[in-house]
Structure 1
Amino acid sequence: MNKKVLIAVSEHGFWVEELLKPMDHLDAAGIGYHFVSPKGNITPFPDGASLNAEYVDPPLGRQVTSPDLARRGKETDWEELFGHRHTLEKWFPVRPYLSADGYLGTLERYYEERRKAWKLISEYDALLLVGGSGPVVDMVNNNRLHDLILGFYYAGKPIAAECYTVTCLAFARELDTRESILRGKHVTGHTMEYDYTAGWSILANGEYFTFETPPYPLEYILRDTVGPNGKFHGNVGRLTSVIVDYPFITSRSVASSDLCGRLLVEVLTNDLKRFGW
């Protein structure tokens, strides 16, 4: 039976290369994929800067999108590509408030509905979280997405996360234990050197909202999350940084998108368990 990947994308802007490059590797390997987004009321779209071959990334001081990728991003019919995507709100319940009437019964129903949702995703062999700035808005602290991640994690299936979506893995944890699934693992992610110090923006309510710096330093979160038995690998100065510590594949930023896609295929087809450390 052919393998299939579930690809999660933000509805507030993803980086086009971080979607198209992994898709290229999945297509070449004959691996199918479906998409899922948080709410379903907005068609996922690429960040405008990721469609501009002239855009200069401030930390790197150079252009980061090739003319070919910019062209492909502009020519892609996103309405058609994402037209039959799944939505997290239809699949997964949201964790109840402690103030809910009949809290214990409500919590029991939540766990039962989550268990049923995990059956719905059993057809997929891996999960890919596409990076960009938008995930900070609707993926990083999304309880439903955390439960989606936990479903793949408990099933022992690969989970690949790019750029700021690595934070989703750091925050995916059970309410009772509250310990991250990344604890004790080797990971990579945005280092301080690759973070903006001005001009970092996301699209909100149809307009760009500028944070100046990213709303959190991902490197610090990951260093603390993995604990004393894990390790954060920044690989500063190296062109790419992708770490495989099964079941996780973590990718630092846009330049690592191609390698992330290739390694996801290697994990799925050649049982790769470790890479980059």
Structure 2
Amino acid sequence: MKKVLFVLTSHDELGNTGHKTGFWVEEFAAPFYYLKDNGIEITIASPKGGQPPIDPKSSAPESQTPATVRFYADNETQAQLAKTLKLADVNQADYDAVFYPGGHGPLWDLAEDKNSIALIEAFYAHGKPVGAVCHAPAIFKHTKKADGTPLVKGQKVTGFTNTEEEAVQLTNVVPFLVEDMLKANGGIYSKKADWNPYAVENELIITGQNPASSELVAELLLKKLK
């Protein structure tokens, strides 16, 4: 059985707004069930371990999908989520791929987390796929190849667009814009119209543009694993 590590944010403060953030339920649930239903064993980790924060907006009625409805009725997966491993205790050797769901949280912690950066670099160096969707491509801010160049340099990538960030009115709240960062790191960035499903793969890196793209990333990841 192939094993995939899911890494979720532990960060719950939306800048200085006084509002909460975390991970986006749909971006966790859709890939989780897609991979699980296809016989993949999933382990979940986060920087602090334990229960990762859920972005409250992702629990709103208008954000629900069949995958989130399934998640909220699934006590077993909720129990697994409440006991995430600490990122520092995770070893890439135990997994075949790693996947990062988004939400705004990763912009603050996972983008800067030394354990996460080292983990991604280790997966990449060992020829294992790295998937990320929406805001989660923020994880490539500091990741490097063995030669010291940015991991995404010269690679086809996507992620939450500047115009999508503008639409949710958080351009001046977030520590950086995913689209700008990927371009600055030399990524060959592309996108579709805002909120449309879009995912790209390049060698070992698989990225999705927004919440609607999360299952597409999982599909590409599964193909790589097979």
TM-score between both structures, scaled by the size of structure 2? 0.85
Alpha-carbon distance change, 28 to 197 in structure 1, aligned in 2, over 3 angstroms = closer
Q: Which of 119, 125, 128 lines up with 1:154 in the alignment? A: 125
Identity, % of aligned pairs? 28
**Kept after mapping to 2: 8 A contact 1:51/1:74:** no
Following TM superposition, by how much is the alpha carbon of 1:81 offset from its aligned partner in structure 2, in angstroms? 1.4
Q: Deviations over 1:119-150 (max 9, x none)?
A: x3312100001111111222111111000101
- Using the alignment, how far apart are the partners of 1:150 and 1:238 within structure 2? 29
RMSD across aligned positions (CA): 2.3
> What amino acid sits opposite 1:31 in the alignment?
I
Alpha-carbon distance change, 50 to 73 in structure 1, aligned in 2, over 3 angstroms = farther
Alpha-carbon distance change, 220 to 243 in structure 1, aligned in 2, over 3 angstroms = same
Counterpart check, 1:145 vs 2:116 = yes
Q: Any stretches of 5+ residues in structure 1 without a counterpart?
A: 55-63, 92-119, 201-210, 270-277
For residue 219 of structure 1, what is the aligned residue in structure 2? 179
**Kept after mapping to 2: 8 A contact 1:43/1:79:** no
Alpha-carbon distance change, 212 to 76 in structure 1, aligned in 2, over 3 angstroms = farther
**Kept after mapping to 2: 8 A contact 1:173/1:180:** yes
Following TM superposition, by how much is the alpha carbon of 1:219 offset from its aligned partner in structure 2, in angstroms? 1.1
- Using the alignment, how far apart are the partners of 1:89 and 1:46 within structure 2? 21
For residue 95 of structure 2, what is the aligned residue in structure 1? 124
SS of the residue corresponding to residue 196 of structure 1 reads: helix
Q: How many residues align?
A: 215
Counterpart check, 1:266 vs 2:223 = yes
For residue 23 of structure 1, what is the aligned residue in structure 2? 32
**Kept after mapping to 2: 8 A contact 1:197/1:213:** no
- Using the alignment, how far apart are the partners of 1:188 and 1:163 within structure 2? 8
**Kept after mapping to 1: 8 A contact 2:52/2:82:** no
For residue 236 of structure 1, what is the aligned residue in structure 2? 193
Following TM superposition, by how much is the alpha carbon of 1:179 offset from its aligned partner in structure 2, in angstroms? 2.1
Alpha-carbon distance change, 48 to 75 in structure 1, aligned in 2, over 3 angstroms = farther
Q: How does 1:110-121 map to 2 (within 5 A)?
A: 120-121=91-92
- Using the alignment, how far apart are the partners of 1:265 and 1:52 within structure 2? 29
**Kept after mapping to 2: 8 A contact 1:51/1:73:** no
Q: Which of 153, 159, 177 lines up with 1:189 in the alignment? A: 159
Alpha-carbon distance change, 161 to 70 in structure 1, aligned in 2, over 3 angstroms = closer
For residue 208 of structure 1, what is the aligned residue in structure 2? none
Following TM superposition, by how much is the alpha carbon of 1:240 offset from its aligned partner in structure 2, in angstroms? 1.4
- Using the alignment, how far apart are the partners of 2:87 and 2:36 within structure 1? 24
For residue 61 of structure 2, what is the aligned residue in structure 1? 53
**Kept after mapping to 2: 8 A contact 1:240/1:252:** yes
For residue 14 of structure 1, what is the aligned residue in structure 2? 23
For residue 64 of structure 2, what is the aligned residue in structure 1? 65
Following TM superposition, by how much is the alpha carbon of 1:237 offset from its aligned partner in structure 2, in angstroms? 4.9
Counterpart check, 1:251 vs 2:208 = yes
Counterpart check, 1:136 vs 2:107 = yes
- Using the alignment, how far apart are the partners of 1:151 and 1:123 within structure 2? 12
- Using the alignment, how far apart are the partners of 2:36 and 2:168 within structure 1? 37
For residue 94 of structure 1, what is the aligned residue in structure 2? none
Following TM superposition, by how much is the alpha carbon of 1:75 offset from its aligned partner in structure 2, in angstroms? 3.5
| Bigger radius of gyration | 1
TM-score between both structures, scaled by the size of structure 1? 0.70
